[in-house]
Each structure stands twice: as C-alpha cells, then as structure tokens.
Amino acid sequence: MSRKLREKAKNILKKEEGTIYKGNPGLISVALAYPNRYFVGMSNLGLQSIYGILNRRGDTVAERVFLPDMEDINEYKRTDTRLFSLESQRMVIDFDILAFSVSFENDYPNILSILSLSGIPLESSERGDEYPLVIAGGVCTFFNPEPISGFVDLFIIGEGEEVIMEFMDLYGRLRSEGYPRNRLLSSLAQIEGIYVPGLYSPSYNQDGTIKGITAGPGLPQRIKKRWIREVDSHTTKTCIMTPDTEFGDMSLIEISRGCKWSCRFCLEGYVYRPLRFRDLKIISKEIRGKNSAIKKIGLVGATVSSYPYFKELFKELREDGERIKISVSSLRADSLSTDLLMMLTESGHKTIALAPEAGSERLRKFINKKLSDEDILKGIELILRSDIPNIKLYFMIGLPTETNIDIDAILILTRRAREIMLKIGKEKGRIGRLTLSVNPFIPKPHTPLQWFPMDHVKSLKEKLKYIKKGVSLLDNVKIIHELPKWSYIQTLLSRGDRRVGKILLSQFVSGKNWNAASRQSDLDTDFYVYRKMGLDEILPWDHIDPGVKKEILIREHMEAIRNVA
C-alpha cells in the first residue's frame, strides 16, 4: 500500500470532527461510497445521514470511500494499491457491502472508476461470492437506475432512511446463514423498495423502443418507492464537520422534503412527494445540540423560504447569546420575507439566488413556474434593499415550445433587474453584480416533461452565443453556463435504458471520448436524446413506481401543451 496515500488519508481525518471509528472485525462492514471527490461528497447531506444511521447499529460499521483526486489515482495505479476506505484504510474489496450514494448522472463513470480501483469486476454478472455486494441508493436510483443496472447488484428505491434498517436486518441474518450471492439477492429482492436488476428482463421492439420488462418469479412488476411518512422520525443532518468541503464553515440540516410547487420539469416536486416539513421544535433541538463551535447552519430543502415556521425559527436563533448564522441555497421570489432576508444579511450573505427558469411568463406558465415578471423584480428589489448586493438568476434554455421571443425575454428581464440594481446600488453607494446561470433543459423521468426531447446542441450553442452577446455590454452582469455537449450526455444517462450502460463501459475501458464509445457500441444515442417519446410508450423507468401515477404526469403534460396553444 502506498505510504503517501495512507498519510494523506490520515491528514484528512485529523481535520474532521465527528468521525466514527469502530474496529470490531466481526461487524457487517459497509464501504459507503460517494462517486466524486472528497470535497464534493462531504457536502452531500444524504451520505452524511446514512453514515450516521449505519454506525448507530451495533452490528454494522460504515466507512467512507471517495473518488481520489487525479494525482492520487495515478499514485494508486503506479504503486498497485487498491482503493481503501478513509477511516481504517481497509481495502474496499474486503468489505461486505460497497454502497454508492448517487445524486448526479454525470457521476456514473466515477462508479466504474471506484470499482476498477478497488479490484472489483465492473459488471455484476462477473462477481462471485468473494466480492462485496454492490448496492446503490440516492435520487438517481429511483428515477431511472437502468443505465448503471449492469454494474450494480441491487438498488434501494426511495428514501434510504426508510428502508436501510430493514435491509440490514435481513442481510445480517442471511449472511450469518451463509447464503451464496445469487440466493442472497433473490431473498433481499423480496423487500419492498429493493430492485435487483438481474432478476428483471427487458425486451425491445424492432424500432428500438421497449416491448416489455419482465419480472422474475414472485417479484413485483413495479418496484415501489419507499418514503418516510413521519419525517421527524429521522433527522437528516451533518455528522462530520471538515473544512475541506464547500460548506466547511457550516452544519447542514434538512427542514423540508419535497416541494409544493410541482414545476413540470423538476424531479423534486414529483419523486419526493408528498411535501413534508420538519417540526420546529425538533429542528431547534438539533441546532442547539450542535457543537458549540458551530455558528452557521445551512438550511436544506426545496422550499426553504416557504417553511411555515420560519418566523419562529428566526426568533429562537436570534435569542442565542451568540446569534447563529444561517445559509440557504436559493429562494422563491414570491415567498421572501423581511425576517428571512434580515437573518441572511446578519449571517453575512452577499448573494441570493432566484430561479425564474424562463425569461417569459408564457414559458413559465408552460413549466408551471407560478411567477410573474413583477414577482421576480419585486423579489430582487426586496433583496437589494436588505443590503444583500448580489443576485444570481437561474434560467433554462431549450425548453419545449421555446421561441426566439422567449430567449429575448431573458435579456429583457436581465436589463430590468440590472436597472433596479443600479438604482438601489447608487442609493446605497455600492453596486453589486448580477450573475446569470443559463443551462440547457434536461428532460427528467417521472416528470410531466419526460416525453419531450432535449434541444439540439447546435441550437443551444446559438442561443448561448446570442445571450452572451446581449449581456456583453452590460456592466456588472456576467453569465455562466454548462457546455451543451455535457448536457447531451446527461440527457442520455437520464433517459437511457440498459443498453446505454454498454456505452458507459466502452468509454471507461477504452478511454475514448463519448462519441467514439457510442460508435463502438453501435447504439444511436440521438434515439434517447432527441426523440420525443410517445405517451403510450413503455419507458425505460416505467417499472419504477415513484408514488406518482403516470396518468397524472400525462394530464400535466397535456395541460402544459394547452397553456401555450
């Protein structure tokens, strides 16, 4: 084992607070893997939550694994060192379970990197009893796990806190009885919310669409999402503090799950239904129970500014001798309050992000984003008058039914926002910056817009060029965006079926770019990205039941079209 890599792991651990060490060799060992770098993974609240839950079990030890930095990957390969866990530097291949927490499609290739560095066969069909059971959870696994189904033995569909204890109880019993791998997987598949892809067989029509997905004997045709009915029965919070992450100066705590707005493009409002708010007293207790050195709390939820008890929470936090600061990611323009903005100002916020999503009210109506231009501009003015000088606006381009008028509307709204910023900035003697985050629309499974294709890369490039030119002469305005070619890949992985996994594998093994890997696999990737799917078509993810009936999605889909007819 490389001494350099081992020392780096020890230095990382020295900076952490809250790390759990359990050395009993008889425990069920879980390598909890986030398929990205430590800096990114330690900002993930889901990973932290499951880490805490597993380690509270007396029969289980969970240790963390991350994708190494590039220079460390080279060191692993140079020294022929297998990937090891952070806490004990134990080789991942020696764990009982390798559990991935997957939040983003673009991290799929990193799953293969972690398997390869660990010495574990990439394809589940090639693994024998001597290898860890490879499982995966996280939002990607319960909207469409198919593109990575060839690499994962078992998926947890839904909210991990709800099913993980039942899963571990059965796994522990079966393990103690010496169940071989195939029998183990068949038995675990009996748990509601557990999906073993090797026990389901897709078939295809001549045109490439899915003919059907056949479940193995005794298995449900659709795998139901597990979700927490009593959300306060599980506290989702930061377990381990470290300065080596984006949120190193704060502790994160979830205050809500789901979203009441049901924007037609957004997963949050559909796969995390129903909307659940956490109880004020429990949140307050958790905040006050934090390490006294922590003076900043990151509030996590899709509807932070809509939290019904925010005034009470604000009052309690202000009563502390040393006021606790708060942080939020983004807010709705029409649900801002002076109390919330006052607290964010006192907490040192210099930027607030709002998400108009579309430049025109017509297109916002299409996506069910219930915001008018005036709502957005009033929100911007309220923020700026609260002494928060910088605004960030999120926009999507390439939305279905989008026209040049909608693209122009982004520029018009930007200019109006800038005028407010200049006016208030001159009054206050400080003019802030307006940042536009403009990214392509990605059709997501289990949303009303899932049937629509992604806009063509060439078209997206032209639209970005036009917007950049439109803001280039505006002082205090900058634009950031994702490259359309990467959005293409994200859409492929979002809407793909099992056959897309062949491209992932080819790209990883050959080291070629995505286009070359696609040609080598003889698979038409445009079929998944640029094709409008039929409302009566069997979709790659139709055997996953997120708790929202397909009829509801179709109704919302048709309503969106009627709104712009």
- Alpha-helical segments (H) within 306-393: 310-318, 338-346, 361-366, 373-385
The amino acid present at 297, given as its one-letter code, is I
Instruction: Tell which wins on pLDDT, 347 or 131.
Output: 131
The answer, yes or no, to whether residue 316 has pLDDT greater than 80, is: no
pLDDT confidence tier of residue 437, bands split at 50, 70 and 90 = very high
Rounded Cα–Cα distance for residues 394 and 246 (Å): 20
The answer, yes or no, to whether residue 111 has pLDDT greater than 80, is: yes
pLDDT confidence tier of residue 328, bands split at 50, 70 and 90 = confident
Average pLDDT, the chain: 93
On the 0-12 / 13-18 / 19+ scale of CB atoms within 10 A, 11 is: exposed
The answer, yes or no, to whether residue 244 has pLDDT greater than 60, is: yes
Q: What is the pLDDT of residue 565?
A: 66
Q: What is the pLDDT of residue 23?
A: 79
Taking only the tens place, the pLDDT of each residue in 340-383 is 888 889 888 999 999 999 999 999 999 999 999 999 999 999 99
**Residues 305-330, mean pLDDT to the nearest whole number:** 76
The answer, yes or no, to whether residue 173 has pLDDT greater than 90, is: yes
Taking only the tens place, the pLDDT of each residue in 182-202 is 999 999 999 999 999 999 999
Q: Is the dihedral of CA 546, 551, 552, 553 positive or negative?
A: positive
User: What is 466-480 written as a DSSP string?
Assistant: HHHHHHTT-TTEEEE
Q: Which CATH architecture has domain 3-224?
A: 3-Layer(aba) Sandwich (3.40)
Taking only the tens place, the pLDDT of each residue in 449-506 is 999 999 999 999 999 999 999 999 899 999 999 999 999 999 999 999 999 999 999 9
Answer whether 0.85 is exceeded by the pTM.
yes
- Which H or E element spans position 525? none
The answer, yes or no, to whether residue 403 has pLDDT greater than 90, is: yes
Give the sheet arrangement for strand 390-397, strand by strand: 351-357, 390-397, 434-440, 477-481
Taking only the tens place, the pLDDT of each residue in 214-227 is 999 999 999 999 99
Domain range summary for the chain, segments of one domain joined by +: 3-224, 350-565
Q: What is the pLDDT of residue 451?
A: 98
Q: What is the pLDDT of residue 16?
A: 95
Rounded Cα–Cα distance for residues 453 and 447 (Å): 13
**Residues 260-268, mean pLDDT to the nearest whole number:** 93
Q: What is the pLDDT of residue 459?
A: 98
Q: What is the pLDDT of residue 312?
A: 84
Q: What is the pLDDT of residue 320?
A: 56
- Listed range (110-114, 168-172, 333-337) with the worst mean pLDDT: 333-337
Looking at the chain, the whole-number percentage of residues with pLDDT higher than 90 is 79
Instruction: Tell which wins on pLDDT, 513 or 5.
Output: 5
Taking only the tens place, the pLDDT of each residue in 293-310 is 567 888 998 878 888 888
Does domain 350-565 bear CATH number 3.30.750.200?
A: yes
Taking only the tens place, the pLDDT of each residue in 225-241 is 999 999 898 878 899 99
Taking only the tens place, the pLDDT of each residue in 63-102 is 999 999 999 999 999 999 999 999 999 999 999 999 999 9
